[in-house]
Structure 1
Amino acid sequence: MGNALISAKQNAEYRRELGKRIEAARETYTASPISQIADSFMLVRIIGNDLEPRHRKGQSFDNVLFILDNEPVFDACEKFWIVNRIVDTDEEARIIGLLESRRQNFHTIPFELDQYRKISWDVEQLVAGDLRFSEKGRASGQSARYETHIRRSKNLYVMNNNGARNAALAIARDRAKWLMPWDGNCYLTDSAFQRIRSAIEKNPHLPYAVVPMARIVDNALLLDQSFQPPAEEEPQIIFRADTTQLFDENYGYGRRPKIEMLWRLAVPGPWDRYRDDAWDFPRPVRAADAGLLQKAGWVARLDSGRSHLEIGKAGFVARLVSRDQAIVDMVDQCDAKAVAARLDTSRLAFYDEDALAHAVKDGPILHHLETAAGQALARGPFSVLDKTGLAPSGDPQDYFHPAPYWWPAPDRPDGLPYIRRDGERVPGTALYAAGSETYDRTRLQRVFDDTTVLALAATVLDGHHYAVHAARLIRAWFIDPRTRMNPHLRYAQVRSGHDNNEGSGHGIIELKDFYFFLDAVRLLERTGVLGDEDREAFRAWLGSYCEWLDTAPAAATAFCSSSNQGTYYDLQRASIATFLGDSATLAKISLYARERLATQIAADGSLPRELSRTRPRHYAMFTLQGWTSLARVLSSVGDNLWQHKTAEGLGLVQALHWLVAHENKPHTMSAETVDPDRLGPLLLDLTHHDPAGMPPADLGRATKPIFHPDEAIAPFWLWRRR
């Protein structure tokens, strides 16, 4: 009750004060030179992108055509158009062609792909706990508001709502007394315009007028001169030429770009009750001339092509949902377009073309390569049919490997369900170990490593016989219908008694080495040992496998992981995307990598999830090898993950610093034994990507060409891209 009385008292005081300010505005206007200028109007309409599913494709063009065909000419009102960053070049050309054919005055604000490419996602401002792969994010799933927020800066550029409105104000200010920077779908009947003119003529001392909108689902209704629908929607604004207010260009489409101005001008409406998100800007303070406005006439908002989104409360709710989806879809299309412009599927993504071209000068490494290639020639080809065990499906072409750290329960006769003993491998699950012939893991690794060594040898040593044998390995495992692996990992890392004896998602890491293997395939294709049918069949296999990755529950588990599983999921998916020319997926992985990095790196630069394992030294190095490989693949399309930093100012380089500083500290990393040379590749990365820091002195470890596959270091990694 007390609060209501205070509010009523404050409102009364505000009205009295506003009344005084209106009278003062009347006196100021009468004494101002602008009062001597006859009323004239400039209606600048801003034509933006069609945003599906919020709008029908082509609706902007159709509405412009409707306006040009049907809207009356108004006395003392100049009409002008802004073509505002239309992404679809064909649609932009169609709209410009229409305006030119009707001799319309217009200005084009172009969409420039090179400019757009410089804009990053808005993840750096979010703390790790708010991001997609945080515990909170995984538990709740991310909302549409989150998805639009992390695309805010990209949305600002593409949609450019307030930037175009300010451009309209600048264009109109010296050409008319009353400026109308309006949306491109606004239409005025003759009677609607006359009502606006009449109101302004009556109260010209008020520097602003708000014109409420009526949503129209059938444009033809506007041809009836007596038609006057209820106009209750968010209004358009008219500015007197001597006003100085500009739209705030930090507010993007979908997050109140025009409402910010309505708040500033103290225009009351339902927007005063809208809910703010934690990452929204604080609401602006009122302008000095707030409240000096009037309501004037009405304007029609032409059909969006989605009539069900324009009617009633249900339409309002659905409109918000479709608008958010449209923002995400549009930004993602632009990201895909930006990646596609730099994506060459034939170009190596992990290895460096120049390094391979100059490899003939490196005698000791060439000796290692010749030896390794000779050993690879003596092995294979391999097939999933070679295993002595069988996947739970009973299909011999299904890949099968049990979870290495899951053992039979000792207190149960059947051992089910299996229990976890982290760091203790089940016999037969270690690469090349006795019993590993029961499963597929060892042979798969042979395919990856031997094919890569042979492809490198064929390229560097100029030996065609290497390429011929490598092609046999690829055909047997991925192409030949009789011997190839089925394109899924449904039975990778099976934990007996769990998940219907299917893999839980951790097994997806067993195909992590696509990142260097696909470069090997590229090199082999250059030699001609893989024909057109082989190439098509292999790509079809990858396509089917990606479909499984995108739809299988187990794959979703790997994708959502905040540990190395998630990192290697991204690496695998990005590597295949560069090979298949899937720019949309590659752009998404670039975003996910930034979100994932923030949730994996602690405030001190460490990797807490990996340090909690029984082999922290191994897993810290293993994870960072995955990150550095992903950074290389992304760099092949010009994406610099190396220098990305989180809200806490951390990134991949800072994590490498932490590892180097703590690698020999048993109280941090435990006293486990690891290959002392495996730090070498990470040391080199640190020297390459932290030019401001002191180079680590111990680079003697950075010469070993081949490591055990468990260490996640590609064969002949010294020839990788920086």
Structure 2
Amino acid sequence: MKNILLPKLRSITAIIPGALYLRQKLRKMRIGHNVHVIYPKYRKKHTSFDANLADQNSSLVNDCIYKPDTFVLYRIIGNDLVPRHKKGQSRENLVFILTNEPELQDCEKRFIVNRIVDLEEEKEIIQLLENFGMPYLCIPFDWEAYRCQPWDIWGVPPRYSPHSKLFSLLEPSRQNQIQMRLYRHKNNYVMHNNGARNIALRDGRRRAKWILPWDGNCFVTTEAWESIRSAVVSRPEIPYYFTPMARVIDNRKLLQTGFQPPATEEPQLLFRCDSKLEFDPEYFYGRRPKVELFWRLGIPGKWEYWPVDPWDLPCPDYAKEAGQFAEAGWVARLFSGQAKLEKQNDQQAWVGRGEARMEAIAGFLGQLDECAFKSRLNPEEPVFINGRDSGKVAAPMLMQLRNAADEALDRGPYSVVDKQTLAPSGNPHDYWHPAPYYWPNPSRIPGLPYVRRDGRRVPGTRMYEPLSENYDRTRLQHLFDDTYILMLACRGLGEECYGKHAAKLVRHWFLNPETMMNPHLKYAQVRRGHNNNLGASPGIIEMKDLYYFLDAVRLLWEGNLLSHAEYEEFKLWLDRYLYWLRSSEQGRGERAALNNHGTYYDLQVASICTFLGKQQLLRETLCDSRFRIIEQFDSIGRQPREMERATTAHYCCFNLQGWIHLAQLAESVGEDLWGFEGPDGQCIRKAMEWLLGHVGKPWPYKQIDEFDSERFSPIYYIYRSKYGMSDNSFNVQASDLSQIKPLFFPHDGIRPFWNYNFPEVCASKSDSRKQESVAL
């Protein structure tokens, strides 16, 4: 279901009593994809200039009307967008214009070279203009300015965010529109559609009475110019004119005397030099940048019937100048290089142009993003382990690290084939774990074999307890924790024995054919007899700690403890797992999760993308994460969905830890989740403040089991390192950071030795004053 706003409803308020109420009511209608829209019977048509209105408004009658009718025609040359255009088509058409277009009476020709990314292409276009003695303005493309353009998160209602179930139900064209809305600021920078038109307008007002800020592929024949000029000169009191456009497949036909194809396409506009209206720079290429001004002026056309979807920029009101326009002649649009898309009055071609335009913009901006942010991503650089040497780590911390690493030396290697029971598939290489909160129904009700008891785990599903050896969850956690601790010790203590054992763990779980895990979680959190004995989407969270394990693998590669072939084989395994995460029903369900499961899904995908160097998917995932901030936190920092659970303190801390890790990862590639705020102020900072506000007080919400109050410590220290301490609002007790325990239970979501090599900003503070620990 989606809200659809109809531009044609805007005018009924002018002619129907009580229509404002009707308009507001219709705007709130929720209609399905296949429901026919009922349009109002009446619509005021602005088909000609109202002379009486002009007489009443003295500001329209000024000296400008009586100036000689001179014109300045700007052609705006931008980037070729393949497959909407043929590569090099803009330059090819420019050659045709410069070579064949006639002199236009009383008209100066100028060009705007508009943020062309390809410097060689820009150079050739400028050289052409200079060779023909054509004046031009060059608006350069700047990579750093492009990097600064944010996602337009606020422009898409969260219910339609790309990770949502509702988004997956939309037809592909609607999905593309949403993606384009997210790219709006980037689109506006590089395509600079309306921005360049406005530059032409402002430059032209000092040069001529009439300004024509037209598209770069417009071509004017002698006959076409005479029809335009005669219409304008005969009625100089009209401040705005529109010129219908004709699509041309064979440019050479324009050289034939008397050739005039039917001009039925979206028109170009002419402005008198004293006109007030400009193009709205917020509207972006591919989504009605010129039509928005048609709507404000009331220019009639098929765009009157185009719907405004919930992710579109709002439908504008009529301008005061509405109706002050007339039609003037026609203009040709030169060939785009794609003949099948250029047929006039052809619905299939019209739809095809829209689809090709969307595809071209998405592909082009995707390539730009990859180039712009590539330098910020080094797949081989650890994300959660910084480069400080062990000499700056407190001695007690190093002692704890050695003890933990020595214990890890005595464990493993681990494999999924070691479990005592098998997954429903019968394949020992398949990871397998039952759903932890679903208990056998003692009532034996047909069709209800299980009862969900939130917060109460089925025996064997809590890590390290008896019966957990029947499944793979405990082994997987040992793999992640031991490998990471061993590599911290190898690097921090300089003893290679730790690294060699860590390498053995990785080979045994991922690389050896006899012991490796298949790259999926099809049988994670299974309820036998349900869903064909497949696992559930929430089972994907059991791989949540992959993010810090991948840092350990990076250190193994850095220390030459894995061969090149082994490292490439591990990346292949990871790539296959990522494909399953993105394409399987379980993966899609987890991506759409609205609580902590969505957070940890993003953390997994982002971690893998960072490791594999998948820049585009990484940025798209971090874009999803911004929507999740809006969805998961309220304006004061509460987490409503985690507050629905039976163990609210646990889940609020657990989810927030996921956000801390995700924000740290984003920061490592130049993305800022720490500072992002939703439209109502939803943000990570407020979530941390709300949670830390309960330190030292009884937890006032539902918490059915024991809660480790020291879990607030990592959140507090991260908060202080990122936001500082501007007040004494948190109830803390003095302690040294290195004295806080480095190891928490894995269900808590805190990585091992979280306080080892803590961020410099926090470490520097510890030198000048004692640090605090927090207690509930």
State the TM-score, normalized to the length of structure 1: 0.90
What secondary structure sits across from 1:608 in the alignment? coil
Q: Aligned AA for 1:672?
A: D
1:468 corresponds in structure 2 to: 500
Alpha-carbon distance in structure 2 between the residues aligned to 1:4 and 1:593 = 41
Structure 1 373/95 Cα, relative in aligned 2: closer, same or farther at 3 Å? farther
What secondary structure sits across from 1:715 in the alignment? coil
Of the structure 1 ranges 365-374 and 407-416, higher mean CA displacement relative to structure 2 is found in 407-416
Of the structure 1 ranges 547-556 and 411-420, higher mean CA displacement relative to structure 2 is found in 411-420
Q: Aligned AA for 1:707?
A: F
Alpha-carbon distance in structure 2 between the residues aligned to 1:324 and 1:704 = 53
Question: Offset at 1:625?
Answer: 0.5
Question: Offset at 1:145?
Answer: 3.9
Choose from 705, 712, 723 the match for 1:679: 712
Q: Aligned AA for 1:183?
A: D
What secondary structure sits across from 1:679 in the alignment? helix
- After the TM superposition, which residues 507-526 of structure 1 pair with which residues of structure 2 at under 5 Å, given as runs? 507-526=539-558
Q: Aligned AA for 1:674?
A: F
What secondary structure sits across from 1:410 in the alignment? coil
Choose from 750, 754, 759 the match for 1:717: 754
2:432 corresponds in structure 1 to: 400
Structure 1 391/475 Cα, relative in aligned 2: closer, same or farther at 3 Å? same
1:315 corresponds in structure 2 to: 349
Aligned length: 714
What secondary structure sits across from 1:374 in the alignment? helix
What secondary structure sits across from 1:353 in the alignment? coil
Alpha-carbon distance in structure 2 between the residues aligned to 1:640 and 1:40 = 51
Question: Offset at 1:598?
Answer: 1.0
1:638 corresponds in structure 2 to: 670
Question: Offset at 1:564?
Answer: 0.8
Of the structure 1 ranges 74-83 and 676-685, higher mean CA displacement relative to structure 2 is found in 74-83
Unaligned runs of 5+ in 1: none
Alpha-carbon distance in structure 2 between the residues aligned to 1:574 and 1:640 = 14
Choose from 674, 688, 696 the match for 2:721: 688
Pair 1:32-2:69 in alignment: no
Of the structure 1 ranges 249-258 and 138-147, higher mean CA displacement relative to structure 2 is found in 138-147
State the TM-score, normalized to the length of structure 2: 0.84
1:60 corresponds in structure 2 to: 90
Structure 1 422/195 Cα, relative in aligned 2: closer, same or farther at 3 Å? same
What secondary structure sits across from 1:524 in the alignment? helix
Deviations 1:376-430 (A, max 9, x none): 1112222222222222222222222222122334344999844433222222222
Q: Aligned AA for 2:706?
A: T
Pair 1:184-2:216 in alignment: yes
Structure 1 73/12 Cα, relative in aligned 2: closer, same or farther at 3 Å? closer
1:212 corresponds in structure 2 to: 244
2:375 corresponds in structure 1 to: 341
Question: Offset at 1:581?
Answer: 1.0
Could you say which structure has the greater relative contact order, defined with CA pairs below 8 angstroms and 6 or more residues apart?
1
Question: Offset at 1:70?
Answer: 3.6
Question: Offset at 1:325?
Answer: 4.6
Conserved? CA contact 2:224–2:331, under 8 Å: yes
Structure 1 558/409 Cα, relative in aligned 2: closer, same or farther at 3 Å? same
Of the structure 1 ranges 386-395 and 529-538, higher mean CA displacement relative to structure 2 is found in 386-395
Question: Offset at 1:238?
Answer: 1.9
Structure 1 481/109 Cα, relative in aligned 2: closer, same or farther at 3 Å? farther
- After the TM superposition, which residues 524-673 of structure 1 pair with which residues of structure 2 at under 5 Å, given as runs? 524-662=556-694, 664-670=697-703, 672-673=705-706
Question: Offset at 1:165?
Answer: 0.4
Conserved? CA contact 1:25–1:206, under 8 Å: no
What secondary structure sits across from 2:693 in the alignment? helix
Of the structure 1 ranges 150-159 and 91-100, higher mean CA displacement relative to structure 2 is found in 91-100
Question: Offset at 1:303?
Answer: 2.9
Alpha-carbon distance in structure 1 between the residues aligned to 2:743 and 2:13 = 77
Conserved? CA contact 2:433–2:461, under 8 Å: yes
Q: Aligned AA for 1:676?
A: S
Q: Aligned AA for 1:591?
A: C
Structure 1 483/414 Cα, relative in aligned 2: closer, same or farther at 3 Å? farther
What secondary structure sits across from 2:664 in the alignment? helix
Question: Offset at 1:273?
Answer: 3.6
Conserved? CA contact 1:416–1:496, under 8 Å: no
Conserved? CA contact 1:383–1:484, under 8 Å: yes
Pair 1:71-2:105 in alignment: no
Alpha-carbon distance in structure 2 between the residues aligned to 1:184 and 1:462 = 63
Conserved? CA contact 1:617–1:672, under 8 Å: no
Q: Aligned AA for 2:203?
A: I
Alpha-carbon distance in structure 2 between the residues aligned to 1:147 and 1:567 = 21
What secondary structure sits across from 2:711 in the alignment? coil
Alpha-carbon distance in structure 1 between the residues aligned to 2:464 and 2:530 = 26
What secondary structure sits across from 1:485 in the alignment? coil
Conserved? CA contact 2:499–2:561, under 8 Å: yes
Of the structure 1 ranges 138-147 and 531-540, higher mean CA displacement relative to structure 2 is found in 138-147
Conserved? CA contact 1:339–1:586, under 8 Å: no
Conserved? CA contact 2:49–2:323, under 8 Å: no
Q: Aligned AA for 2:750?
A: I
Alpha-carbon distance in structure 1 between the residues aligned to 2:13 and 2:285 = 35
Conserved? CA contact 2:76–2:114, under 8 Å: yes
Of the structure 1 ranges 694-703 and 386-395, higher mean CA displacement relative to structure 2 is found in 694-703
Conserved? CA contact 2:437–2:457, under 8 Å: yes
1:480 corresponds in structure 2 to: 512
Of the structure 1 ranges 636-645 and 205-214, higher mean CA displacement relative to structure 2 is found in 205-214
What secondary structure sits across from 1:717 in the alignment? coil
Aligned-residue Cα RMSD (Å) equals 3.3
Q: Aligned AA for 2:622?
A: S
Question: Offset at 1:12?
Answer: 10
Alpha-carbon distance in structure 2 between the residues aligned to 1:14 and 1:407 = 69
Structure 1 91/520 Cα, relative in aligned 2: closer, same or farther at 3 Å? farther
Alpha-carbon distance in structure 2 between the residues aligned to 1:217 and 1:479 = 57
- After the TM superposition, which residues 282-321 of structure 1 pair with which residues of structure 2 at under 5 Å, given as runs? 282-288=315-321, 290-311=322-343, 312-321=346-355
Alpha-carbon distance in structure 1 between the residues aligned to 2:594 and 2:530 = 22
Of the structure 1 ranges 398-407 and 452-461, higher mean CA displacement relative to structure 2 is found in 398-407
Question: Offset at 1:361?
Answer: 3.8
Structure 1 42/439 Cα, relative in aligned 2: closer, same or farther at 3 Å? same
Choose from 524, 535, 544 the match for 1:492: 524
1:116 corresponds in structure 2 to: 146
What secondary structure sits across from 2:709 in the alignment? coil
Deviations 1:679-716 (A, max 9, x none): 11011122223334436324649521111111111111
Structure 1 503/698 Cα, relative in aligned 2: closer, same or farther at 3 Å? farther
Unaligned runs of 5+ in 2: 1-11, 18-41, 762-776
Of the structure 1 ranges 133-142 and 660-669, higher mean CA displacement relative to structure 2 is found in 133-142
Question: Offset at 1:152?
Answer: 2.7
2:291 corresponds in structure 1 to: 259
Of the structure 1 ranges 542-551 and 143-152, higher mean CA displacement relative to structure 2 is found in 143-152
1:80 corresponds in structure 2 to: 110
Question: Offset at 1:665?
Answer: 3.7
Alpha-carbon distance in structure 2 between the residues aligned to 1:12 and 1:20 = 17
Deviations 1:123-175 (A, max 9, x none): 24666556556786677687444333333333222221111001112333333
Of the structure 1 ranges 437-446 and 362-371, higher mean CA displacement relative to structure 2 is found in 437-446
Structure 1 700/495 Cα, relative in aligned 2: closer, same or farther at 3 Å? farther
Deviations 1:339-376 (A, max 9, x none): 3231122222122223xx25544101000111111111
Q: Aligned AA for 1:294?
A: A
1:271 corresponds in structure 2 to: 303
Alpha-carbon distance in structure 1 between the residues aligned to 2:514 and 2:126 = 57
Question: Offset at 1:637?
Answer: 1.1
Of the structure 1 ranges 407-416 and 704-713, higher mean CA displacement relative to structure 2 is found in 407-416
Q: Aligned AA for 1:59?
A: Q
Alpha-carbon distance in structure 2 between the residues aligned to 1:436 and 1:346 = 34
Question: Offset at 1:95?
Answer: 4.1
Alpha-carbon distance in structure 2 between the residues aligned to 1:159 and 1:668 = 51
Alpha-carbon distance in structure 2 between the residues aligned to 1:338 and 1:666 = 46
